Amino acid sequence: MTGATSSNRPPRVLHFVTGGFSGATQVAVDLVAAHQMSGNFQAKLVLRRKRNTNKPRVEALRQRGLDVEVVAGWSHLATIWQLVKICRVFRPDIVVAHGFSDHIWGRCAGLLASVPHLIHVEHNSRERYTYWRLAQSMWLSKHTDAIVGCSEGVRTSLLELGFPARKTMAIPNGIRLEPYFDQPAPIKNRTPGIVMAARFARQKDHATLLHALQLLKEKGHRPVVQFAGGGKKRYQQAAQQLSRTLGLQDQVNFLGYCNDIPALLKQNQICVLSTHYEGMPLSLIEGMAAGCAVVGSKVVGVQEVIEHELNGLLVEHENAHAMAEALERLLEDVTFSSSLAENARNDAFAHYSMERMVFDYETLFAHLLASHPPRTVIE
């Protein structure tokens, strides 16, 4: 699958992504681990330092045998310069720059370091593209071999922004399915609880789920909700304050970072992703693989995964009443919940495996290395 190199070594791929341990970070980590396992590519992971970059989690990646470096995040110029230096030592054949705005700085560094091939991966359907950031991205697209959306919805969003159609494609994100291979317990034998595994960030909509819980409480339903995920403290504190204001302290647990999401999902009946926008909702796919009945906000990315009333339920964005009605329906009708959960699990295994995602990326890399000559070196 790999392209030939002058030294007959495996081609080198550098994945650059935020160190905030978002979904984009997880995809980059998974790809680096998969390249290492397949032996098709020699891979390095470079993280841009964020306030919430967790040193123990970085060290845990190194303990897994991954080649990981962290560059400065306090200045874009510092980020680019440090990444250029890493590229000049590692000499990658391909730089894969994940997520906004990191895909800009990663490709700038790759271009300055004369890396032969650049790939831009977009992980969300809605990003903060100012006029200047979009202009930078469009200029860089002229020097970029491929622009990848992590779902068809993201690809469509990129095309609507004006990115070149001939370079823009979709490679859906995938998850490791091994933790979900064992047949999960039936819905009726699980705790009638709800899991939302999502970092606390501007993108996520914990508030709507909390308001829905208050509405359910008024109707006599008191499901326990597990919020699993780190993120920014101000968003977590806002959710905690709202929980207290609504009188939900005895129903809502803020778990923080959870290192065994599969076990948590398998114990509960329902997985929810209440969100403002998505690229490809990995946490929802994990809920599907775990055999949960799933509920998601009706936004780009989520709509691509959930087929309403067949493998889950879609609710209108920021509509607590719709969310409460969906949850009430699942809690009261176990037969319906079980049917959705079975279909969701089948879809997760059929369409969203890690193996499929890795194959698509490695096929793209091999195609670029075999078909496209290196760009002119910039002095």
258 in the same domain as 130: no
Helices and strands in the chain, H and E counts: 14, 13
Closest Cα to residue 192, out of 296, 249, 270, 271?
Answer: 270
Do 362 and 40 contact (CB within 8 A), yes or no?
yes
Q: Which domain holds residue 160?
A: 12-174+354-371
Q: Would 186 be classed as within a structural domain?
A: yes
- CATH number, residue 128: 3.40.50.2000
pLDDT of residue 302: 95
270 in the same domain as 170: no
258 in the same domain as 207: yes
pLDDT of residue 364: 97
Do 320 and 208 contact (CB within 8 A), yes or no?
yes
Closest Cα to residue 146, out of 338, 379, 367?
Answer: 367
Which pTM value belongs to this model?
0.85
pLDDT of residue 1: 57
Per-residue pLDDT in tens (0 to 9) along the chain, 379 residues: 555 454 578 999 999 999 988 889 999 999 999 999 999 999 999 999 998 888 999 999 999 999 999 999 999 999 999 999 999 999 999 999 999 999 999 999 999 999 999 999 999 998 989 999 999 999 999 999 999 999 999 999 999 999 999 999 999 999 999 999 999 999 999 999 999 999 999 999 999 999 999 999 999 999 999 999 988 899 999 999 999 999 999 999 999 989 899 999 999 999 999 999 999 999 999 999 999 999 999 999 999 999 999 999 999 999 999 999 999 999 999 999 999 999 999 999 999 999 999 999 999 999 999 976 544 444 3
Closest Cα to residue 240, out of 232, 231, 249?
Answer: 249
169 in the same domain as 40: yes
182 in the same domain as 77: no
Q: How far is it, in rounded angstroms, from Cα 162 to Cα 121?
A: 15
pLDDT of residue 377: 40
What is the total count of domains within the chain? 2
Q: Would 220 be classed as within a structural domain?
A: yes
List, in sequence order, every residue forming a beta bridge with 271; answer none if it has no partner. 195, 294
